[in-house]
Amino acid sequence: MNKHWRWVLTPLYPLLALNVLVALAYAKAWCKARSWQWRSGVLTFVATRAMIGNPGGQGWSWVVGYASDEDRDSDDLRVHENVHVWQELMFALLGLVAGVIAIAAGYAWLGVLAMFLGGPLFTLCYGLGFVAGFFRTGEFWLAYRANPFEVHAYQVQDEYLNGGRPDAWK
Ligand SMILES: [Zn+2]
């Protein structure tokens, strides 16, 4: 997820509407969000109450919460969270393709619905990745780190820290 890709992928943002609604409700009701800011095409906030799991950053579609201003100013943490934004955009793209195919096949309403299901499908897959990791490792932290979506995000974050991704989306 070269930073230039975000300009190509921005038109997919509306397809994550279902996740965005959940994100905004979560930010307001649970996190008591403050200091909303756009950062490189991502809507960010700072939580005044610990987010679920107490992480430094947590992405919900293209809405990303940070535990503090320092966390949000951390380039490598933003690189990590924006990998998750990119992952969700790929699922939005998947929903779009499925929707177009369904519409072309004559299932118009099903197609429109499918277009908006990429985001929820990501949430489901992320959750399944965590559950699978938990059954394998029996431990929350290890399950989190074994989740394929996290393996990907940490890999990019590490490469960025080692200078291998100077043009990362941050
Ligand atoms: Zn992560």
| Half-sphere CA count of 158, side-chain side, radius 13 A | 6
pLDDT band with cut points at 50, 70 and 90 for residue 1: low
Q: What distance in angstroms lies between residue 96's CA and the mean position of ligand 1's atoms?
A: 24
In SS3 terms, 43-72 reads as: EEEECCCCCCCCCCEEEECCEEEECCHHHH
Q: What is the mean pLDDT of residues 91-108?
A: 96
The number of folded domains in the chain is 1
Residue 23 lies in a domain: yes
Residue 2 and residue 165 in contact, taking contact as beta carbons nearer than 8 Å = no
- 170 lies in a domain? no
| pLDDT reported for residue 65 | 97
Task: Tell me what the mean pLDDT of segment 20-41 comes to.
Answer: 94
Mean pLDDT computed over every residue of the chain: 93
Residue 136 maps to a domain: yes
Q: Is there a domain that residue 42 lies in?
A: yes
Measured in Å, residue 84 CA sits from the centre of ligand 1 at 7
Question: Which residue, chain included where needed, has tokens 């943002």?
Answer: 13
Structural domain includes residue 169 = no
Within-domain flag for 167: no
CA 85–ligand 1 middle distance (angstroms): 10
Helix axes 148-161, 118-137, angle to 10 degrees: 90
Does any domain span residue 58? yes
Q: Per-residue pLDDT tens for 47-99? A: 999 998 888 999 999 999 999 999 999 999 999 999 999 999 999 999 999 99
Query: Domain residues for 42?
Result: 3-161
Residues less than 5 Å from ion ligand 1, measured at CB = 150, 153
Q: Is the pLDDT of residue 100 over 80?
A: yes
- Has residue 73 been placed in a domain? yes
Give the Å distance between the CA of 87 and the centre of ligand 1: 11
CA of 53 to the centre of ligand 1 (A): 11
**pLDDT: which is higher, 3 or 102:** 102
